[in-house]
């Protein structure tokens, strides 16, 4: 198992205090923060938008590449969501703007037998999701946060936002969307993290359920 998954499992238990009126919005073991912690593997990439592209491939009628301008020409949506990180922080009422996945899908010619999606991102990152999860109306390819363009450290120019799953599924710096007939694990899923990642079921790690929090995010850089 990946060392990070092992470290998270061994972290001391800390009980999170949640106001009663917010309890139904906070998954077990989470702590509310006003911060937006910055956590990722590898270096923060830099892009030239004149050459940046998003590739769509796999179980589609024809591979397609979108420029940033192509995406900006599509219908844009603003939404407010709670987000939950596997490292035990939750941030409420976050505002995003971008293209809903369900608005992009009709342009992609996805085969009927495509049931799963692999999101490919820099730096050498990928994460897997069931296609039906991406079809929820609050899943988006976001380029703005809190009324401003995403910062480099939060995934500029484009990141996925999947609010109902732990936030490692909301990949930063996405560059490819691969449609698949069969599921296969992504980066963290290959390294000890849960394949699906439902926060309210505490699906943090693969294998047995272990109620172990992690507070390293408190010591990380944040906005």
> For residues 56 and 17, which has the higher predicted lDDT (pLDDT)?
56
Q: Does 163 reside within a domain?
A: yes
Residue 82 lies inside a defined structural domain of this protein: yes
In this prediction, residues 92-113 reach a mean pLDDT of 98
The rounded percent of the chain whose pLDDT value lies above 90 is 74
CATH number at residue 104: 3.90.420.10
Q: Which of 7-16, 51-60, 176-185 has the lowest mean pLDDT?
A: 7-16
Confidence of residue 43 (pLDDT cuts 50, 70, 90): confident
- Residue 193 is predicted with a pLDDT of 94
Q: Read off the pTM.
A: 0.87
Structural domain includes residue 127: yes
Digit-coded pLDDT (tens) for 17-36: 667 888 899 999 899 998 89
pLDDT at 213: 45
Res. 218 pLDDT band, cuts 50 70 90: very low
pLDDT of residue 190: 93
The answer as to whether 123 is a domain residue is yes
Domain of 84? 3-217
CA-CA distances (angstroms) from residue 11 to 50, 83, 97, 145, 199?
44, 22, 35, 31, 18
How remote is the C-alpha of 20 from its chain's centroid? Answer: 27
Q: Is 115 exposed, middle or buried (0-12, 13-18, 19+ CB in 10 A)?
A: middle
Question: In the chain, how many domains are there?
Answer: 1
Is residue 223 in some structural domain? no
The answer to whether position 34 is within a domain reads yes
- Of 32-36, 66-70, 109-113, the range with the lowest mean pLDDT is 32-36
- In the predicted model, what is the mean pLDDT of residues 181-189? 96
Name the pLDDT band for 219 (thresholds 50, 70, 90): very low
Predicted confidence band of residue 7 (pLDDT cuts 50, 70, 90): low
| CA dist list (Å): 165 to 83, 108, 148, 197, 215 | 8, 24, 24, 5, 19
User: Does residue 10 surpass a pLDDT of 70?
Assistant: no
Contact 139, 161 (CB under 8 A): yes
Establish if 222 belongs to a structural domain: no
List the structure tokens of 27: 């998954």
Section 195-208 average pLDDT: 90
Residue 38: pLDDT above 90? no
Domain assignment present for residue 64? The answer is yes
CA distance 29 to 215: 11
Q: Which two tokens stand for residue 142?
A: 């976001």
Token pair listed for 111: 């085969």
Distances (CA, A) of 38 to 41, 145, 217: 10, 14, 8
Average pLDDT over the chain, rounded to an integer: 88
């Amino acid at each position: 198992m990946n060392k990070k998954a092992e470290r998270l499992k061994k972290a001391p238990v800390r009980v999170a205090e949640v106001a009663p009126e917010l309890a139904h919005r906070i998954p077990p073991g989470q702590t509310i923060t006003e911060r937006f912690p910055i956590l990722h593997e590898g270096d923060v990439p830099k892009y030239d938008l004149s050459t940046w592209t998003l590739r769509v491939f796999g179980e589609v009628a024809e591979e397609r590449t979108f420029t940033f301008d192509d995406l900006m020409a599509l219908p844009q949506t603003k939404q407010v969501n709670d987000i939950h990180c596997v490292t035990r922080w939750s941030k409420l009422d976050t505002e995003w703007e971008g293209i809903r996945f369900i608005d992009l899908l009709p342009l992609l010619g996805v085969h009927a037998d495509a049931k799963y999606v692999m999101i490919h991102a820099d730096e050498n990152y990928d994460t897997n999701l069931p296609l039906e999860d991406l079809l929820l109306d609050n899943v988006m390819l976001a380029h703005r946060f809190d009324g401003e363009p995403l910062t480099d450290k939060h995934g500029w120019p484009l990141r996925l936002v999947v609010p109902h799953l732990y936030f490692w599924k909301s990949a930063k710096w996405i560059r490819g969307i691969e449609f698949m007939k069969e599921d296969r694990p992504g980066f963290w899923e290959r390294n000890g993290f849960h394949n699906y990642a439902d926060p309210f079921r505490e699906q943090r790690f693969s294998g047995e359920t272990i109620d172990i929090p992690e507070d390293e995010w408190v010591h990380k850089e944040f906005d």
